[in-house]
Amino acid sequence: MIYQRVLLKLSGEALMGNLGYGIDPKVVADIAQDIAQVVQEKVEVAIVVGGGNIFRGVKASAAGMDRATADYVGMIATVMNAMTLQDALERINIPTRVQTAIAMQEVAEPYIRRRAIRHLELGRVVIFGAGSGNPFFTTDTTAALRAAEIDAQVIFKATKVDGVYDSDPVKNPDARLYKSLNYNHVLTEDLRVMDGTAIALCKENNIPIVVFNLAERGNIIRAIKGESIGTIIGGSYDVN
């Protein structure tokens, strides 16, 4: 295996499949099976999950809701997704711990960096819920922060498209897929892979980001094996 410890960033939308809202149990079960393949290869896996399938703080704020309050509600939504994913993993005998940045001791552990690392060393999947615990920060930024804290070698960002394009592939059939990019290109061209804070954190800590299509079964294990799928940002490709 090319990586020993990885962080997987899952959007909340990835968990709802073709539903318009909520969680599709079959999709979650499929994701759990793919993650199980990775764990069975003795790769340590941490996950940050979003909450956009249940509640989007930015959208609610734009509609008039207090931004900080909206962001806290969104953080709670990520915990619901984290617990759902934990259940799917443990039903196939993958030991899993949920750690949250907002205390919810009845259902999850508090986020403690050393404890998270110890869980990973013992072969447990660790799912980070409740974002960073602070409003005004995205779960992409949380992914970059947690990856740096636990010394992850790479961030895998699972999306609905095959990687990073120079324009929206849904609107432009001639959009070009990038195979590799450096951090500065992503920032200056405003490619919106992750928010600017997340990209800056990855650049500062030299954490590469692999963006790939989650919908294709087996892509998670292919990416971790180092196969050429999606787009890789930074790492040895960062020439600036």
Q: Any binding-site annotation on 93?
A: no
Q: Any binding-site annotation on 113?
A: no
- Specify the amino acid at residue 37: Q
> CATH number of the domain that 67 lies in?
3.40.1160.10
Going through the chain in order, the beta strands assigned E by DSSP cover 5-10, 44-49, 96-100, 109-110, 125-129, 154-159, 164-165, 177-178, 180-181, 209-213, 231-233
**pLDDT in the model for residue 240:** 40
pLDDT digits (tens, 9 = 90+) for 47-69: 999 998 998 877 777 788 899 99
**pLDDT in the model for residue 132:** 96
**Is it the case that residue 42 has pLDDT exceeding 70?**
yes
Q: Any binding-site annotation on 159?
A: yes
Token pair recorded at residue 136: 């005004």
Q: Any binding-site annotation on 9?
A: yes
Percent of the chain with pLDDT over 70: 97
Q: Any binding-site annotation on 52?
A: yes
- Which residue would you say has higher pLDDT here, 32 or 64? 32
Confidence of residue 1 (pLDDT cuts 50, 70, 90): low
Are the C-beta atoms of residues 24 and 15 closer than 8 Å to each other? yes
DSSP tag of 97: E
Confidence of residue 204 (pLDDT cuts 50, 70, 90): very high
Q: Any binding-site annotation on 141?
A: no
**pLDDT in the model for residue 57:** 75
pLDDT digits (tens, 9 = 90+) for 207-231: 999 999 888 888 888 888 888 889 9
What value does the mean pLDDT of the chain take? 91
Q: Any binding-site annotation on 129?
A: no
pLDDT digits (tens, 9 = 90+) for 121-159: 999 999 999 999 999 999 999 999 999 999 999 999 988
Q: Any binding-site annotation on 140?
A: no
**pLDDT in the model for residue 190:** 83
Instruction: Give me the sign of the Cα torsion angle 124, 112, 212, 136.
Output: positive
Q: Any binding-site annotation on 205?
A: no
Number of domains the chain contains: 1
Q: Any binding-site annotation on 169?
A: no
Token pair recorded at residue 118: 């110890």
Q: Any binding-site annotation on 12?
A: yes
Report the pLDDT averaged over residues 72-83. Answer: 96
When computed from its CA atoms, the radius of gyration of the chain, rounded to whole angstroms, is 17
Domain encompassing residue 30: 5-237
> Which of 201, 206, 207, 211 lies closest to 232, judged by CA?
211
3-state secondary structure of 143: helix
Q: Any binding-site annotation on 87?
A: no
Q: Any binding-site annotation on 142?
A: no
Q: Any binding-site annotation on 166?
A: no
pLDDT digits (tens, 9 = 90+) for 84-130: 999 999 999 999 999 999 999 999 999 999 999 999 999 999 999 99
**pLDDT in the model for residue 20:** 85
Global pTM value: 0.93
Report the pLDDT averaged over residues 185-210. Answer: 92
Q: How far apart are alpha carbons 7 and 15 in whole angstroms?
A: 17
Other beta carbons less than 10 A from residue 216's beta carbon: 12
